[in-house]
Amino acid sequence: MKFFLDTAERDEIQRMTELGFVDGVTTNPSLLKKAGAPYQQVLQEICALVSGPVSAEVVAEDHAGMIAEGRELAAIAENVVIKVPMGSEGLRAVRGLREHGIDCNVTLVFSTNQAILAAKAGARFVSPFIGRLDDVAQEGMQLIEEIVQIYENYEFESELIVASVRHPMHVVDAGLLGADIVTMPTRVLEAMFQHPLTDIGKEKFLAAWRDVPKA
């Protein structure tokens, strides 16, 4: 089970990388806007911090524009993966970018059919947005369950990235279903370390240690 950080905040990425929990990073235009520096510089800095794949998203709306933008982004660093929006133009761009040896992450996936098409187009990664489905009262994890099963049935090589993760239970559920990767905001990864009984237990042991006879 791999963990990607869904952020463009370099300080957060550095902190979590030092802890050894960052297998990759995903960004999108909203996250790059928050980062508040030229996107090329931000991506370069992220790619220098992380050896795994770093997704950078194209914003062109036709396949030719996506391919051109994707090639520019891929030139930033060796580990850049191009995030392409789901759709006929996006999937055409996936095939085109593959011809240039560039890997893609198909984003904004909200149905099992879309995930099947993305795999057939040769996407290295496919990103269903489960939190946004939960937001509209559709069971995001149901989608993950179906995709995991179908990718197994046909031995599709695409790796599933569970995206739009909002809380640590999403990580647990993704693990139970056997999803390859979870991309999460830093606060979700940080929350995974925490349990109130751990804090209480530590305090009790420290208090006891104060009264342990010492030579």
The catalytic residue positions are 83
In Å, how far from its chain's centre is CA 208? 42
**Whole-Å CA distances, 28 to 107, 116, 119, 179, 211:** 10, 22, 21, 21, 53
Min separation Cβ 98 and ligand G3P, Å = 22
Helix, strand and coil in the chain, % to nearest 5: 55, 20, 30
Instruction: Please report, as ranges, the residues that interact with ligand G3P according to CB under 6 A.
Output: 6, 26, 28, 129, 131-132, 163-164, 183
- Nearer to ligand G3P among residue 33 and residue 120 (C-beta): 33
Alpha helices in 60-139 (DSSP H): 63-74, 88-99, 112-121, 130-135
192 CB burial (10 A radius; 0-12, 13-18, 19+): middle
Min separation Cβ 164 and ligand G3P, Å = 3
- Nearer to ligand G3P among residue 17 and residue 26 (C-beta): 26
Min separation Cβ 162 and ligand G3P, Å = 9
- Nearer to ligand G3P among residue 87 and residue 131 (C-beta): 131
